[in-house]
Structure 1
Amino acid sequence: MAWSDELRHVHARLRKALVVTQEAVASGTPARPASRDLLLFCHGFCSALTGHHVGEDGELFPAIAAEHPELRETLRKLEQDHSMIAHLVGALQMAIDVGSSPEDLARHLEGISAIMENHFRYEERQLLAVLEALALDVDPGLVLGPL
Protein backbone atom coordinates (compact mmCIF):
# COMPACT_ATOMS: atom_id res chain seq x y z
CA MET A 1 0.00 0.00 0.00
CA ALA A 2 1.31 3.47 -0.86
CA TRP A 3 2.06 5.94 1.93
CA SER A 4 -0.64 8.21 0.53
CA ASP A 5 -3.23 5.47 1.16
CA GLU A 6 -1.84 4.89 4.65
CA LEU A 7 -2.14 8.61 5.45
CA ARG A 8 -5.73 8.79 4.19
CA HIS A 9 -6.61 5.69 6.22
CA VAL A 10 -5.14 7.07 9.46
CA HIS A 11 -6.81 10.45 8.95
CA ALA A 12 -10.16 8.70 8.45
CA ARG A 13 -9.67 6.69 11.66
CA LEU A 14 -8.75 9.82 13.62
CA ARG A 15 -11.79 11.65 12.29
CA LYS A 16 -13.99 8.73 13.36
CA ALA A 17 -12.35 8.60 16.81
CA LEU A 18 -13.04 12.31 17.23
CA VAL A 19 -16.72 11.82 16.36
CA VAL A 20 -17.01 8.96 18.87
CA THR A 21 -15.39 11.15 21.52
CA GLN A 22 -17.70 14.07 20.70
CA GLU A 23 -20.70 11.73 20.96
CA ALA A 24 -19.51 10.54 24.39
CA VAL A 25 -19.27 14.14 25.56
CA ALA A 26 -22.65 15.03 24.03
CA SER A 27 -24.25 12.27 26.10
CA GLY A 28 -23.97 14.75 28.96
CA THR A 29 -21.90 12.62 31.28
CA PRO A 30 -19.62 14.84 33.35
CA ALA A 31 -15.92 14.09 33.07
CA ARG A 32 -15.47 12.43 36.44
CA PRO A 33 -13.21 9.48 37.12
CA ALA A 34 -16.40 7.42 37.36
CA SER A 35 -17.15 8.27 33.74
CA ARG A 36 -14.87 5.58 32.35
CA ASP A 37 -16.32 5.56 28.84
CA LEU A 38 -15.71 9.26 28.36
CA LEU A 39 -12.20 9.04 29.78
CA LEU A 40 -11.45 6.03 27.60
CA PHE A 41 -12.67 7.73 24.43
CA CYS A 42 -10.85 10.99 25.18
CA HIS A 43 -7.65 9.24 26.20
CA GLY A 44 -7.75 6.97 23.16
CA PHE A 45 -8.39 9.81 20.74
CA CYS A 46 -5.76 12.10 22.31
CA SER A 47 -3.15 9.31 22.38
CA ALA A 48 -3.84 8.32 18.77
CA LEU A 49 -3.67 11.89 17.48
CA THR A 50 -0.50 12.64 19.42
CA GLY A 51 1.14 9.38 18.31
CA HIS A 52 0.27 10.16 14.70
CA HIS A 53 1.93 13.55 14.84
CA VAL A 54 5.00 12.31 16.73
CA GLY A 55 5.49 9.64 14.05
CA GLU A 56 5.14 12.14 11.24
CA ASP A 57 7.60 14.56 12.85
CA GLY A 58 10.14 11.86 13.68
CA GLU A 59 9.94 9.54 10.68
CA LEU A 60 7.78 10.70 7.79
CA PHE A 61 8.69 14.36 7.48
CA PRO A 62 12.49 13.77 7.58
CA ALA A 63 12.10 11.17 4.83
CA ILE A 64 10.06 13.59 2.71
CA ALA A 65 12.54 16.42 3.34
CA ALA A 66 15.43 14.19 2.24
CA GLU A 67 13.75 13.38 -1.09
CA HIS A 68 11.98 16.73 -1.57
CA PRO A 69 13.92 19.62 0.00
CA GLU A 70 11.55 22.06 -1.72
CA LEU A 71 8.85 20.92 0.77
CA ARG A 72 10.79 21.87 3.91
CA GLU A 73 8.74 25.04 4.48
CA THR A 74 5.50 23.06 4.08
CA LEU A 75 6.77 20.47 6.55
CA ARG A 76 7.72 23.22 8.99
CA LYS A 77 4.15 24.58 8.80
CA LEU A 78 2.75 21.11 9.41
CA GLU A 79 5.02 20.68 12.44
CA GLN A 80 3.76 24.03 13.78
CA ASP A 81 0.22 22.68 13.42
CA HIS A 82 1.27 19.60 15.38
CA SER A 83 2.52 21.82 18.18
CA MET A 84 -0.73 23.82 18.23
CA ILE A 85 -2.82 20.64 18.25
CA ALA A 86 -0.68 19.21 21.07
CA HIS A 87 -1.40 22.35 23.11
CA LEU A 88 -5.16 21.95 22.48
CA VAL A 89 -5.03 18.26 23.38
CA GLY A 90 -3.20 19.14 26.60
CA ALA A 91 -5.90 21.68 27.46
CA LEU A 92 -8.59 19.03 26.83
CA GLN A 93 -6.80 16.56 29.06
CA MET A 94 -6.55 19.17 31.82
CA ALA A 95 -10.26 19.93 31.47
CA ILE A 96 -11.03 16.23 31.85
CA ASP A 97 -8.75 15.97 34.89
CA VAL A 98 -10.55 18.81 36.70
CA GLY A 99 -14.01 17.45 35.89
CA SER A 100 -15.13 20.14 33.46
CA SER A 101 -18.71 20.21 32.23
CA PRO A 102 -19.71 18.41 29.02
CA GLU A 103 -20.24 21.84 27.43
CA ASP A 104 -16.68 22.87 28.25
CA LEU A 105 -15.31 19.58 26.94
CA ALA A 106 -17.36 19.98 23.77
CA ARG A 107 -15.77 23.40 23.21
CA HIS A 108 -12.31 21.90 23.59
CA LEU A 109 -13.15 19.14 21.12
CA GLU A 110 -14.63 21.65 18.66
CA GLY A 111 -11.38 23.61 18.70
CA ILE A 112 -9.35 20.47 18.15
CA SER A 113 -11.72 19.40 15.39
CA ALA A 114 -11.42 22.68 13.50
CA ILE A 115 -7.63 22.80 13.61
CA MET A 116 -7.26 19.06 12.98
CA GLU A 117 -9.51 19.10 9.92
CA ASN A 118 -7.80 22.14 8.45
CA HIS A 119 -4.42 20.51 9.11
CA PHE A 120 -5.43 17.17 7.55
CA ARG A 121 -6.77 18.84 4.41
CA TYR A 122 -3.64 20.97 3.97
CA GLU A 123 -1.38 17.99 4.62
CA GLU A 124 -3.24 15.87 2.09
CA ARG A 125 -3.19 18.63 -0.57
CA GLN A 126 0.52 19.19 -0.10
CA LEU A 127 1.83 15.67 0.43
CA LEU A 128 -0.37 12.99 -1.15
CA ALA A 129 1.33 13.16 -4.56
CA VAL A 130 4.75 12.91 -2.92
CA LEU A 131 3.61 10.04 -0.72
CA GLU A 132 2.53 8.02 -3.77
CA ALA A 133 6.19 7.38 -4.60
CA LEU A 134 7.89 7.75 -1.22
CA ALA A 135 10.40 4.96 -0.59
CA LEU A 136 10.28 4.51 3.17
CA ASP A 137 10.80 1.01 4.52
CA VAL A 138 9.33 1.44 8.00
CA ASP A 139 6.28 -0.03 9.72
CA PRO A 140 3.38 2.35 8.92
CA GLY A 141 2.19 2.03 12.53
CA LEU A 142 5.44 3.54 13.75
CA VAL A 143 5.24 6.38 11.24
CA LEU A 144 1.55 7.28 11.24
CA GLY A 145 0.28 5.75 14.44
CA PRO A 146 -1.81 2.62 14.93
CA LEU A 147 -3.86 1.65 11.94
Structure 2
Amino acid sequence: MAEGETSRFVAWGEELRAVHRRLRDALRVVRASTEAGDPVGPLSNDLLLFCRGFCAALTGHHEGEDRELFPAIAAAHPELRGTLRKLEQDHSMIGTLVAALQAAVDRRMPRDAIEAHLDGLAAIMESHFQYEERELLAVLEALALDAEPSDVLGPLGTEPRR
Protein backbone atom coordinates (compact mmCIF):
# COMPACT_ATOMS: atom_id res chain seq x y z
CA MET A 1 0.00 0.00 0.00
CA ALA A 2 1.38 3.43 -0.95
CA GLU A 3 2.10 6.05 1.67
CA GLY A 4 -1.01 8.02 2.56
CA GLU A 5 -3.36 5.29 1.35
CA THR A 6 -5.72 3.80 3.85
CA SER A 7 -7.28 0.42 3.81
CA ARG A 8 -10.99 0.33 4.43
CA PHE A 9 -12.80 -2.82 5.34
CA VAL A 10 -16.48 -2.59 6.10
CA ALA A 11 -18.16 -5.54 7.75
CA TRP A 12 -21.43 -5.00 5.89
CA GLY A 13 -23.31 -7.62 7.89
CA GLU A 14 -22.52 -5.83 11.14
CA GLU A 15 -23.32 -2.47 9.57
CA LEU A 16 -26.73 -3.76 8.48
CA ARG A 17 -27.47 -5.16 11.96
CA ALA A 18 -26.39 -1.85 13.54
CA VAL A 19 -28.67 0.20 11.26
CA HIS A 20 -31.58 -2.14 11.97
CA ARG A 21 -30.93 -1.70 15.72
CA ARG A 22 -30.91 2.09 15.32
CA LEU A 23 -34.16 2.01 13.36
CA ARG A 24 -35.79 -0.20 16.01
CA ASP A 25 -34.57 2.22 18.69
CA ALA A 26 -35.93 5.18 16.73
CA LEU A 27 -39.30 3.47 16.44
CA ARG A 28 -39.28 2.90 20.22
CA VAL A 29 -38.68 6.64 20.73
CA VAL A 30 -41.61 7.46 18.46
CA ARG A 31 -43.83 4.99 20.32
CA ALA A 32 -42.75 6.38 23.71
CA SER A 33 -43.66 9.88 22.57
CA THR A 34 -47.23 8.72 21.83
CA GLU A 35 -47.70 7.53 25.42
CA ALA A 36 -47.70 10.98 27.03
CA GLY A 37 -51.03 12.70 27.50
CA ASP A 38 -54.53 12.03 26.23
CA PRO A 39 -54.55 9.19 23.65
CA VAL A 40 -56.93 11.14 21.39
CA GLY A 41 -55.57 14.62 22.15
CA PRO A 42 -53.35 16.78 19.96
CA LEU A 43 -49.99 15.46 18.91
CA SER A 44 -46.97 16.72 20.78
CA ASN A 45 -44.17 18.52 18.97
CA ASP A 46 -41.82 15.73 20.12
CA LEU A 47 -43.99 13.11 18.44
CA LEU A 48 -44.09 15.15 15.23
CA LEU A 49 -40.32 15.57 15.24
CA PHE A 50 -39.50 11.95 16.17
CA CYS A 51 -41.98 10.55 13.67
CA ARG A 52 -40.67 12.63 10.79
CA GLY A 53 -37.08 11.76 11.68
CA PHE A 54 -37.87 8.04 11.90
CA CYS A 55 -39.74 8.09 8.57
CA ALA A 56 -36.85 9.89 6.84
CA ALA A 57 -34.28 7.47 8.31
CA LEU A 58 -36.24 4.35 7.33
CA THR A 59 -36.86 5.68 3.82
CA GLY A 60 -33.20 6.67 3.42
CA HIS A 61 -32.09 3.21 4.57
CA HIS A 62 -34.21 1.44 1.97
CA GLU A 63 -33.26 3.87 -0.81
CA GLY A 64 -29.56 3.25 -0.07
CA GLU A 65 -30.04 -0.50 -0.17
CA ASP A 66 -31.95 -0.32 -3.46
CA ARG A 67 -29.43 2.07 -5.04
CA GLU A 68 -26.10 0.71 -3.74
CA LEU A 69 -26.25 -2.53 -1.78
CA PHE A 70 -28.64 -4.70 -3.76
CA PRO A 71 -26.96 -4.09 -7.14
CA ALA A 72 -23.60 -5.04 -5.60
CA ILE A 73 -25.09 -8.22 -4.14
CA ALA A 74 -26.83 -9.09 -7.44
CA ALA A 75 -23.55 -8.67 -9.33
CA ALA A 76 -21.66 -10.94 -6.94
CA HIS A 77 -24.50 -13.40 -6.29
CA PRO A 78 -26.95 -13.61 -9.23
CA GLU A 79 -28.68 -16.53 -7.48
CA LEU A 80 -30.04 -14.00 -4.94
CA ARG A 81 -31.89 -11.85 -7.47
CA GLY A 82 -35.27 -13.33 -6.44
CA THR A 83 -34.56 -12.56 -2.79
CA LEU A 84 -33.50 -9.03 -3.68
CA ARG A 85 -36.69 -8.51 -5.71
CA LYS A 86 -38.75 -9.58 -2.68
CA LEU A 87 -36.82 -7.17 -0.46
CA GLU A 88 -37.38 -4.36 -2.96
CA GLN A 89 -41.10 -5.17 -2.98
CA ASP A 90 -41.03 -4.97 0.82
CA HIS A 91 -39.36 -1.56 0.52
CA SER A 92 -42.18 -0.39 -1.72
CA MET A 93 -44.83 -1.65 0.71
CA ILE A 94 -43.02 -0.08 3.68
CA GLY A 95 -42.76 3.16 1.69
CA THR A 96 -46.55 3.15 1.29
CA LEU A 97 -46.98 2.60 5.04
CA VAL A 98 -44.49 5.38 5.83
CA ALA A 99 -46.37 7.76 3.50
CA ALA A 100 -49.65 6.91 5.25
CA LEU A 101 -48.05 7.51 8.65
CA GLN A 102 -46.59 10.81 7.48
CA ALA A 103 -49.99 11.87 6.11
CA ALA A 104 -51.65 10.98 9.43
CA VAL A 105 -49.04 13.00 11.30
CA ASP A 106 -49.37 15.94 8.89
CA ARG A 107 -53.16 15.87 9.36
CA ARG A 108 -52.54 15.72 13.12
CA MET A 109 -54.68 12.64 13.49
CA PRO A 110 -55.43 11.52 17.06
CA ARG A 111 -52.77 9.53 18.87
CA ASP A 112 -54.71 6.27 18.63
CA ALA A 113 -54.73 6.60 14.82
CA ILE A 114 -50.99 7.32 14.81
CA GLU A 115 -50.42 4.30 17.06
CA ALA A 116 -52.39 2.10 14.66
CA HIS A 117 -50.13 3.25 11.81
CA LEU A 118 -47.06 2.59 13.96
CA ASP A 119 -48.30 -0.90 14.86
CA GLY A 120 -48.71 -1.87 11.21
CA LEU A 121 -45.41 -0.35 10.17
CA ALA A 122 -43.57 -1.98 13.10
CA ALA A 123 -44.90 -5.44 12.25
CA ILE A 124 -43.94 -5.24 8.58
CA MET A 125 -40.59 -3.57 9.33
CA GLU A 126 -39.62 -6.27 11.85
CA SER A 127 -40.62 -9.09 9.49
CA HIS A 128 -38.62 -7.44 6.70
CA PHE A 129 -35.52 -6.91 8.87
CA GLN A 130 -35.55 -10.51 10.07
CA TYR A 131 -35.92 -11.86 6.52
CA GLU A 132 -33.22 -9.57 5.18
CA GLU A 133 -30.78 -10.55 7.92
CA ARG A 134 -31.57 -14.26 7.55
CA GLU A 135 -31.09 -14.19 3.77
CA LEU A 136 -28.21 -11.74 3.37
CA LEU A 137 -25.94 -11.66 6.43
CA ALA A 138 -23.66 -14.48 5.25
CA VAL A 139 -23.28 -12.79 1.86
CA LEU A 140 -22.70 -9.39 3.45
CA GLU A 141 -19.92 -10.72 5.68
CA ALA A 142 -17.84 -11.39 2.55
CA LEU A 143 -19.06 -8.51 0.37
CA ALA A 144 -16.32 -6.25 -1.01
CA LEU A 145 -18.02 -2.92 -1.64
CA ASP A 146 -15.96 0.25 -1.52
CA ALA A 147 -18.56 2.75 -0.38
CA GLU A 148 -19.48 4.78 2.65
CA PRO A 149 -21.92 2.98 4.98
CA SER A 150 -24.20 6.04 5.06
CA ASP A 151 -24.48 5.94 1.24
CA VAL A 152 -25.27 2.22 1.25
CA LEU A 153 -27.44 1.92 4.36
CA GLY A 154 -28.90 5.38 4.75
CA PRO A 155 -28.47 8.21 7.23
CA LEU A 156 -28.16 5.87 10.21
CA GLY A 157 -25.15 4.15 8.66
CA THR A 158 -21.90 4.69 10.48
CA GLU A 159 -20.04 7.92 10.09
CA PRO A 160 -17.74 8.02 7.07
CA ARG A 161 -14.32 6.53 7.77
CA ARG A 162 -11.24 8.68 7.46
TM class by shorter-chain length?
Answer: over 0.9
8 Å contact from structure 1 (residues 39, 96) kept in 2? yes
Which residue of structure 2 aligns with residue 26 of structure 1?
35
**Unmatched runs of 5 consecutive residues or more in structure 2:** 1-9, 158-162
Indicate how the Cα distance of structure 1 residues 42 and 20 shifts in structure 2: closer, same or farther if over 3 A, else same: same
Q: Which ranges of 4 or more aligned residues in structure 1 deviate by more than 4 Å?
A: 29-32
1:97, 1:13 → 2: CA distance? Answer: 24
Give me the TM-score of the superposition, normalised by structure 1: 0.95
Residue by residue over 1:95-145, the C-alpha shift from the partner in whole angstroms, topping out at 9 and shown as x without a partner, is 011110100000000000000000000000000000001010000001101
Are 2:128 and 1:119 equivalent residues in the alignment? yes
**Unmatched runs of 5 consecutive residues or more in structure 1:** none
Which residue of structure 1 aligns with residue 115 of structure 2?
106
1:1-147 correspondence to structure 2 within 5 Å: 1-28=10-37, 30=41, 32=43, 35-146=44-155, 147=157
Q: CA RMSD in A?
A: 1.1
Please say which structure displays the higher CA radius of gyration: 2
The residue identity in structure 2 corresponding to 1:105 is: I
8 Å contact from structure 1 (residues 21, 38) kept in 2? yes
The residue identity in structure 2 corresponding to 1:68 is: H
Answer 1 or 2: which has greater helix percent.
1
